[in-house]
Amino acid sequence: MHTMKALIKREFLEHRGAFLYAPAVLLSIICVAVAFLLIAGNGELEGEYIVAPTGATMYTIGVAASYIVWSVYLTVALFFYYADSFSADRRNNALLFWKSIPQSDLKILTSKALSGITIFAALIFGFALVTGAIIYLVLVVVSFQHPALNAPGIFEALQIYVQMGFVAAIYYIVGLLTQAPALAWVAGLSTLFRRWSIPLAFLIPGTVVLLEFINSIIGFGNSRPIAKFLEGWFDSNFNEELAAEILMGPAGGAPFELLKLVLSGTDWLSVAIGLVLTAGVVYLASEYRRRRIGA
């Protein structure tokens, strides 16, 4: 256990730029820009009458939007992390060093796989939590400048913050479980092709789907199993329109309705199959490293 923690800590030290420094800089730039807009604003709104959702609803929508934006950042960052981390040890003879210590290739690659869905995901989720607090401060300032837009009270905002944070945590976990096969795919390719894994991750399935499409056109059969498999795998049952209606409705029950929507929109059988495939990719990649690289 101590060895695994040390290996995960090593991954954090080597990749903290993408998961700590870059998000911190990005959030700082956004805060400075928003602060400038608030200070430079004249405190007036165009139009005689302003029709806006309640302060609680606006805050719920803002927090939900921030979690979605950070989840997109996490997905992109993890894709590039796994496209490089499984082959990063091969640079500068680092792989020879790790092969010289009593740690198996399977344990090293497992630590890389776990780092993305634990410490790196937790870091991005932490930035999402900070963003939620900043959104409330912005709403308070805006409510002083524009009395027609009222911010929720501190206790009401805290309740929304905690509830939406819990829902977002479940959303992030489900998202990571669903994305595991795709991330394992690019990680496995990186073991073989290094940084060429990024274009190959799209080129290989795209070529197979194209060949199936051509085969169906020229009349050799209408069966397209790979295309249907990929379409079904990434076709989420999450109802975005219903989620928008929930967010625009009363803020009190929105978090729990969103939670039910997230859980009911997940194909748990596909998630289980994906996790088995992910474990298989990590094992095969470790065997390739053990047998073929630096042996």
The number of beta carbons lying within 10 Å of the beta carbon of residue 261 is 19
Tell me the CB-side half-sphere exposure of residue 33, using CA atoms within 13 A: 6
Tell whether 40 is covered by a domain.
no
DSSP state of 90: T
Tell whether 36 is covered by a domain.
no
Q: How far apart are CA 128 and CA 230, in angstroms?
A: 30
Cβ–Cβ < 8 Å for 95, 271: no
pLDDT score of 259: 77
Q: How far apart are CA 114 and CA 110, in angstroms?
A: 6
Total domain count for the chain? 1
Tell whether 92 is covered by a domain.
yes
Tell whether 104 is covered by a domain.
yes
Average pLDDT, the chain: 80
103 burial type by CB count under 10 A (0-12 exposed, 13-18 middle, 19+ buried): middle
The pLDDT tens digits for 133-171 are 999 998 888 887 776 677 788 888 898 898 889 889 998
pLDDT score of 293: 60
The pLDDT tens digits for 48-87 are 444 556 777 888 888 989 999 999 999 999 999 998 888 7
Read off the tokens for 258: 């969103």
pLDDT score of 193: 86
Across 29-33, 195-199, 266-270, 286-290, which has the greatest mean pLDDT?
29-33
Read off the tokens for 162: 């905690």
Residue 97 has pLDDT above 60, yes or no: no
178 vs 41: which has the higher pLDDT: 178
Q: How far apart are CA 173 and CA 214, in angstroms?
A: 38
Tell whether 19 is covered by a domain.
yes
pLDDT score of 237: 55
Tell whether 125 is covered by a domain.
yes
Tell whether 43 is covered by a domain.
no
Tell whether 286 is covered by a domain.
yes
The pLDDT tens digits for 223-258 are 666 666 666 665 555 555 656 666 666 555 667 777
Range of the domain at 94: 2-27+53-292
Q: How far apart are CA 19 and CA 122, in angstroms?
A: 10
Phi, psi of 218 (to 5 degrees): -80, 0
The mean pLDDT value for 25-31 works out to 93
Task: Kindly indicate the confidence band of residue 28, based on its pLDDT and cuts at 50, 70 and 90.
Answer: very high
Q: What percentage of residues in the chain have a pLDDT greater than 70?
A: 77
